[in-house]
Amino acid sequence: MKKDEAEQIKIAQWFNHRYKSIGIKYLRPVVAYELFLTLLQTKEQNKILDIACGPGQLLLQAKKNNLQCFGIDISEEAILLCKKRLPDATVIVANAEQIPFENNTFNYISCIGSLERFVNRNTALQEMKRVAKTDATFCFMVRNSNNSSWKFFKQYFKLQNKTGHQDAMNLNEWTSLFKQNNFDIQLITHDHWPLLRWKRWLSAGLLKIDYGKFQSAKKDITTSNEFIFILKNASNC
């Protein structure tokens, strides 16, 4: 067995255990995924593929928006949960480096909070481009290594999630990765969920929040907890 394959098996096992033990409790609520769909500017009946879809949080919101929903995840437990919650969606246990769909299939590709866990990011990005339509839009949320909480817990206390293969990068590094893979960057913003979570908690759930609306952006996003990238295929821009 190759080293990369062994690493991917470890990641799948880690997530299988996580979903068996705590289910979806650690994930943000389904409605919070509306932001990503808003940024993608989705249209009804178009096809979206969620890479590392987990138990289907984003796809559940996409279904409410009348999108055709597809997903892959390396975790069997995640896909079992996703199938129970979305029986009409096409969700498959698969590796992002070998996406089991035809070329030129999807209008939108999303990958939320998972690219930093991939063993071979370049291969996965090229696979995503392969299955995307020529004018498709991509949405990635990725971890920032320059964030204070990452530095404090992961670097100083050595609490890196090695088994889950979580490996953050800073804004310049993520930007370079996407450009090297021939993506055109349409937008970079910070993840709005930490602010929304506090608003919801402080109002005891009484505050009406538009989860698809931009929240007040930081002046300097380089220290954000996570970045959101909206991309196009550079060869079609």
Q: Which pLDDT score, from 0 to 100, does residue 203 have?
A: 73
The DSSP line for the chain is --HHHHHHHHHHHHHHHHHHHHTTTTSPPGGGGHHHHHHHT--TT-EEEEET-TTTHHHHHHHHTT-EEEEEES-HHHHHHHHHH-TTSEEEE--TTS--S-SS-EEEEEEES-GGG-S-HHHHHHHHHHHEEEEEEEEEEEEBTTSHHIIIIIIIS----TTTT---B-HHHHHHHHHHTTEEEEEEEE--HHHHHHHHHHTTT-S---TTSPPPPPS-GGG-SEEEEEEEEGGG-
Please indicate whether residue 88 or residue 2 has the higher confidence score (pLDDT).
88
pLDDT digits (tens, 9 = 90+) for 116-159: 999 999 999 999 999 999 999 999 999 998 887 777 666 655 55
Q: Which pLDDT score, from 0 to 100, does residue 153 have?
A: 65
- What's the rounded mean pLDDT across residues 53-60? 97
pLDDT digits (tens, 9 = 90+) for 157-177: 555 545 445 688 999 999 999
CATH of the domain at 105: 3.40.50.150
Domain encompassing residue 107: 3-236
Confidence band, pLDDT 50/70/90 cuts, at residue 95: very high
How many domains is the chain partitioned into structurally? Answer: 1
